[in-house]
Structure 1
């Protein structure tokens, strides 16, 4: 599994999560909602420190990662994180690797 994130999305997370230099962002499965890959679960986001990442990308001094305990949620899909300027929010795409 891989993850990809655009510069625009990185800047959004830095601003919205008020990331300090070196802080990391975790993407995880949370109960409730629905996505193209899981029903009853959605994608959560929080500041965190990597422990056992299964996918990670380093951008502008920040790590964006997914822990091994959440790999099941992605069901073999790679995570693509973009940014929608009209809505001023991230956009998530799941693509089979």
Structure 2
């Protein structure tokens, strides 16, 4: 079973960049193309949204980050970590063995 982890620095950066408030939900979703971050031909995106069938969740600073069940196929049983990259002043999606 995959897990989702958002590091503290990534959460702070996302709260500022996305103007997140306590109680907000952020969906991590699969999209075709973009910078490959998980599987060739696919990348991940983030948007404010409300969960329908959240399979993976991580709450930090009163914001819930989640991935819907329908998108977890892209992880193929691996864990997803969202980290802040200071060099690029951006977040990065890291897929790791559980």
On whether the aligned pair clears a TM of 0.5, the verdict is: yes
Supply the distance in 1 between the matched residues of 2:90 and 2:52 (Cα, whole angstroms): 27
Contact 2:37 2:93 in 1 (8 A): no
Q: Which residue of 2 aligns with 1:46?
A: 47
Supply the distance in 2 between the matched residues of 1:34 and 1:14 (Cα, whole angstroms): 22
Q: Which residue of 2 aligns with 1:66?
A: 67
Note the aligned Cα RMSD (angstroms).
Answer: 1.3
The TM-score with structure 1 as length reference comes to: 0.92
Contact 1:24 1:50 in 2 (8 A): yes
More strand by share: 1
**What secondary structure, in the 3-state scheme, does the structure 1 residue paired with 2:33 have?**
strand
Deviation at 1:80, TM superposition (A): 0.7
The TM-score with structure 2 as length reference comes to: 0.91
Supply the distance in 2 between the matched residues of 1:96 and 1:33 (Cα, whole angstroms): 23
Superposition pairs of residues 1-97 of structure 1, within 5 angstroms: 1-33=2-34, 35=36, 37-97=38-98
Unaligned runs of 5+ residues in structure 1 are none
Give runs of ≥4 in structure 1 deviating > 2 Å. 33-37
User: Per-residue displacement from partner, 1:5-26 (whole Å, max 9, x unpaired)?
Assistant: 1110000110111112211111
Supply the distance in 2 between the matched residues of 1:23 and 1:36 (Cα, whole angstroms): 25
| Residue-pair matches, total | 97
